[in-house]
A and B are shown apart, each in its own frame.
Chain A
Amino acid sequence: MKSSAPNQLKGSFETRARWQPLEVLFWVAAFASYYFLPGKHLILTEIAILALFALSLDLILGYAGIVSLGHAAFFGFGAYVAGLLAKHQLVTEPLLALLLAGLAAMLLGFVTSFLVLRGSDLTRIMVTLGVALVLREIANRYAWLTGGADGLQGVSMDPLLGLFRFDMFGRTAHAYTLIVLFVLFLLARRIVNSPFGLSLQAIKGNALRAAAVGVAVNARLVAVYTMAAFYAGIAGALLTQTTAFASLDVFSFERSADLLLVLIIGGTGYLYGGLIGAIVFKLMQDYLSALTPQYWPFWIGLVLVVIVLVGRDRFSSWTLPLRRLAARLDWRAQLPRRSVGGGG
C-alpha cells in the first residue's frame, strides 16, 4: 500500500508536468501555420510576440500574484536595447542581440523588483505603472539616443545566424519569433512545475503561511519578477528586430493594459492563457479594425465589459472541457505508470 501510493498519484504536479495531447496539437498547429497560412506571416508574428509578452505577465500574475500595469517597461527596454545594438552596429547578429536585450531587461527587472515586494495590489499597480511612465519619458527626453517621438530609425541587422535574411514577407521573422516563443515556453513550463514554481503558488495563496513554512518570500518574488522581465524584454526585442523600428509606444500604458486584457481573455495560471488570449485578442483587433477603422477600441471595450460581466472564471474555463478531453485521450494514462518521474 505504502509503496504503491506514489504510483497512484494522478493529479497535481505530475500530470501537469506531463505533455497532454492537446498541448502537442497546439504547438503542431502553431508551427503548421507557417506553411499553411503563407499570407499571414505578419499578424502571426505579432501574435507570437504578444503571446510571449503575455506569458511573461502570467509568470508574475498567474503564478506569483503580482499585479502589474506597467509591464511594458521591460518590453520597451528590451525593444530599445535591441534597436540600439543594431543601429550602432554593436551586435549585428540578431539572436545574440536578442539575448543581450533580454538580459538588459532582466537587470532592470531585478532592480525594480524591490519596489513591488511591499504593499497591496493597488500599490503594485501604481508602482509598476510609474516605472513604465518614467522610462517612456526618459526615452522621450533623450532623443539624441532614442530618436524621441520620431522613434528609433535605421535599425538594420545581419541575417539570423548569418544564414537567414529578414525578408519583406516576414517569413524569417515568423519562424524566428515562433521558435523563440516555443523555447521560452518550454523553459516557463519547466519553471512553473518545479519546486520554485510551487513556492510561487504558495506565496500567491498565502504569503504569511509560505514564510512560516520556510519560503524566502521576498527572494522568490524578486527571482520571478526578474525572470518575467527577461521574457518581456525578449518580446520587445523581437518586435524591434522584426519591424526594424522602435517607437515610444513600446512603453505605452495601452500596451500594459492590453496585456492584462489578453490574460483576462485567456485566463491566468496555466501558461496557455497568454497564448490563447493573444490569438483571440489580435484576431479580434484585426477583424474589428478592418470593420471600423476608427471605432474598433469601442468593440474591444464592449468585449471586455461582457467578459467581466459573464465572469472571468467562466471564460477561462472555456478550456476546461478541452483539458478534460485531453486527459481522457491521453493514452499514457491508460497504461500502468512506470515511475513518478515520468514527467517532462
Chain B
Amino acid sequence: MAPALQTFGLDKRFGGIVAANDVSLHVEKGARHALIGPNGAGKTTLVNLLTGLLQPTSGRILLDGNEITHLKPHKRVKLGLTRTFQINQLFFELTPFETVALAVCEREGLGGTWWRLLASRRELVAEVVSILERFGLADVMEERTVTLPYGKQRLLEIALAIASQPSVLLLDEPAAGVPEDERQAILTIVAALPSDVTVLLIEHDMDLVFKFASFISVLVNGALFVQGTPEQIAGDSRVREVYLGEAAHA
C-alpha cells in the first residue's frame, strides 16, 4: 500500500537560503504524524510545498502514489489534500455558514454552478449546519466572520478544512494563539477525526504533539533530522539538544 503522502528529495531554495533540503518524508495512511522543529526550521515552507503554494526547486511529491509535484493548489484539494493555516486565512465578510458552504460546494463539484440558488440545496444546508454544530459555531453561523472572537475564528479555520473531507489533512499549528479554554475544543476535534483520515500535524507545542502523534519527524534547518515514535524522540539526546539550544537563545 502506497503511503498517503510521500516526498522524494524535496529542495527549496530562496536565493542563497535553503528552506527545504533533500526532504524525503513518508506519511502512512491513517497516520497521526507530527512534524516538529525549532523556529525557522522550514516547517511552514514544507507545508507550502506540499499544498502547492510554493514550487520545489527539485524533488517530487506523491499523494496516494500519484505525482502531484506540479499540480495547482486547488487541484490537490480535489485529490484529497487539505490544510489549515498557521495564521487564520478566512473570508472576513462571509459568515461561518457561507464559509463552510463554500467548501462543501467545492467538494461536491458545485462551485461553478451559477444557475441554481445555493439555498435550494437542502441536504447541503443540513450538512453545513451539522459541521458548524460539531465545532460549536452554530450559534454564530450568521455573523460576519470578522466579528467573531479569535478562538471561534480558529475553530472555523479548522472546520473549513474538514468540510472538504480530506484524505490527508495538514494541520499547521492548529492551537497557535488560542486561549486555554478553547484550546481543549480544538484538541477534542482533532482527536475525533476519523481514523482513515491521514493527519500531518505541524506543531510547536510538545505537549500537544506527544498527546496526539504516533510518529514524529523532526525538521532542523530545512532537513529531516530524526524520525521515530514519540518514545524514541523523547529519549533522543540530539533532539533535546536542538530544543534546549533554542530555549537557551529564547
A220–B73 CA distance with the chains assembled, in angstroms: 15
A204–B119 CA distance with the chains assembled, in angstroms: 21
A302–B113 CA distance with the chains assembled, in angstroms: 43
B62-73 CB contact bits vs A (8 Å, 1 = yes)?
A: 000000000011
- Chain B positions within 8 Å of A32 at CB level: none
- The number of chain A residues with a CB under 8 A from chain B is 44
Cβ-neighbour of A193 out of B82, B94, B110, B118 (below 8 A): B118
- Given the known A-B contacts A2-B133, A201-B94, are A213 and B106 also in contact in the complex, defined by CB atoms under 8 Å? yes
Query: In the bound complex, do residue A208 and residue B74 qualify as a contact, i.e. CB atoms below 8 Å apart?
Result: no
With an 8 A cutoff between CB atoms, is B215 at the interface?
Answer: no
Query: In the bound complex, do residue A6 and residue B115 qualify as a contact, i.e. CB atoms below 8 Å apart?
Result: no
- Given the known A-B contacts A206-B90, A211-B73, A212-B51, are A9 and B118 also in contact in the complex, defined by CB atoms under 8 Å? no
With an 8 A cutoff between CB atoms, is A202 at the interface?
Answer: yes
Query: In the bound complex, do residue B93 and residue A9 qualify as a contact, i.e. CB atoms below 8 Å apart?
Result: no
- Given the known A-B contacts A199-B106, A201-B94, A205-B94, are A340 and B112 also in contact in the complex, defined by CB atoms under 8 Å? no
With an 8 A cutoff between CB atoms, is A344 at the interface?
Answer: yes
With an 8 A cutoff between CB atoms, is A13 at the interface?
Answer: yes
Query: In the bound complex, do residue A195 and residue B105 qualify as a contact, i.e. CB atoms below 8 Å apart?
Result: yes
With an 8 A cutoff between CB atoms, is A320 at the interface?
Answer: no
Query: In the bound complex, do residue B118 and residue A202 qualify as a contact, i.e. CB atoms below 8 Å apart?
Result: no
Cβ-neighbour of A190 out of B53, B95, B115 (below 8 A): B115
B89-125 CB contact bits vs A (8 Å, 1 = yes)?
A: 1111111011101110111001111111111111001
A342–B122 CA distance with the chains assembled, in angstroms: 10
Separation in Å of the B61 CB from the closest CB of chain A?
16
- Chain B positions within 8 Å of A219 at CB level: 112
Query: In the bound complex, do residue A11 and residue B117 qualify as a contact, i.e. CB atoms below 8 Å apart?
Result: no
With an 8 A cutoff between CB atoms, is B200 at the interface?
Answer: no
With an 8 A cutoff between CB atoms, is A196 at the interface?
Answer: yes
Query: In the bound complex, do residue B120 and residue A344 qualify as a contact, i.e. CB atoms below 8 Å apart?
Result: yes
- Chain A positions within 8 Å of B101 at CB level: 13, 195, 198
- Chain A positions within 8 Å of B107 at CB level: 214
Query: In the bound complex, do residue B89 and residue A215 qualify as a contact, i.e. CB atoms below 8 Å apart?
Result: no
With an 8 A cutoff between CB atoms, is A5 at the interface?
Answer: yes
Query: In the bound complex, do residue B117 and residue A194 qualify as a contact, i.e. CB atoms below 8 Å apart?
Result: yes
- Given the known A-B contacts A11-B95, A211-B72, are A194 and B115 also in contact in the complex, defined by CB atoms under 8 Å? yes
Cβ-neighbour of B118 out of A3, A13, A206, A212 (below 8 A): A13
Which A190-244 residues have C-beta < 8 A from chain B? 190-191, 193-199, 201-202, 204-206, 208-217, 219-220, 223
- Given the known A-B contacts A5-B129, A209-B89, are A341 and B114 also in contact in the complex, defined by CB atoms under 8 Å? no
A203–B250 CA distance with the chains assembled, in angstroms: 39
Query: In the bound complex, do residue A206 and residue B117 qualify as a contact, i.e. CB atoms below 8 Å apart?
Result: no
- Chain A positions within 8 Å of B113 at CB level: 194-196
Residue of A nearest to B84 (CB): A212
Query: In the bound complex, do residue B72 and residue A339 qualify as a contact, i.e. CB atoms below 8 Å apart?
Result: no
Separation in Å of the A204 CB from the closest CB of chain B?
8
Separation in Å of the A227 CB from the closest CB of chain B?
8
Residue among A9, A208, A209, A214 with most chain B CB within 10 A:
A214
Separation in Å of the B120 CB from the closest CB of chain A?
4
With an 8 A cutoff between CB atoms, is A121 at the interface?
Answer: no
- Chain A positions within 8 Å of B118 at CB level: 13, 17, 193-195, 197-198
Query: In the bound complex, do residue B119 and residue A216 qualify as a contact, i.e. CB atoms below 8 Å apart?
Result: no
With an 8 A cutoff between CB atoms, is A332 at the interface?
Answer: no
With an 8 A cutoff between CB atoms, is B160 at the interface?
Answer: yes
A198–B115 CA distance with the chains assembled, in angstroms: 13
A14–B124 CA distance with the chains assembled, in angstroms: 13
With an 8 A cutoff between CB atoms, is A141 at the interface?
Answer: no
Query: In the bound complex, do residue B114 and residue A194 qualify as a contact, i.e. CB atoms below 8 Å apart?
Result: yes
Query: In the bound complex, do residue A5 and residue B138 qualify as a contact, i.e. CB atoms below 8 Å apart?
Result: yes
With an 8 A cutoff between CB atoms, is A12 at the interface?
Answer: yes
Query: In the bound complex, do residue A217 and residue B117 qualify as a contact, i.e. CB atoms below 8 Å apart?
Result: no
A residues at B contact (CB < 8 Å): 2-3, 5-6, 9-14, 17, 190-191, 193-199, 201-202, 204-206, 208-217, 219-220, 223, 339-344
Known: A5-B133, A214-B82, A220-B112. 20 other contacts (CB 8 A): A13-B101, A190-B117, A191-B114, A193-B119, A195-B101, A195-B102, A195-B113, A196-B112, A198-B102, A202-B99, A205-B92, A206-B91, A208-B89, A209-B90, A212-B82, A213-B74, A214-B103, A217-B74, A341-B122, A342-B119
Shortest beta-carbon contacts, A-B, top 3? A214-B77, A205-B91, A196-B114
Query: What are 30 inter-chain pairs, A to B, with CB distance below 8 A?
Result: A5-B129, A9-B141, A9-B142, A11-B95, A13-B98, A13-B101, A13-B119, A17-B117, A190-B114, A190-B117, A191-B114, A195-B112, A195-B113, A196-B111, A196-B113, A196-B114, A199-B111, A202-B94, A206-B89, A211-B73, A212-B77, A212-B89, A213-B82, A214-B74, A216-B112, A217-B74, A219-B112, A340-B120, A340-B122, A341-B122
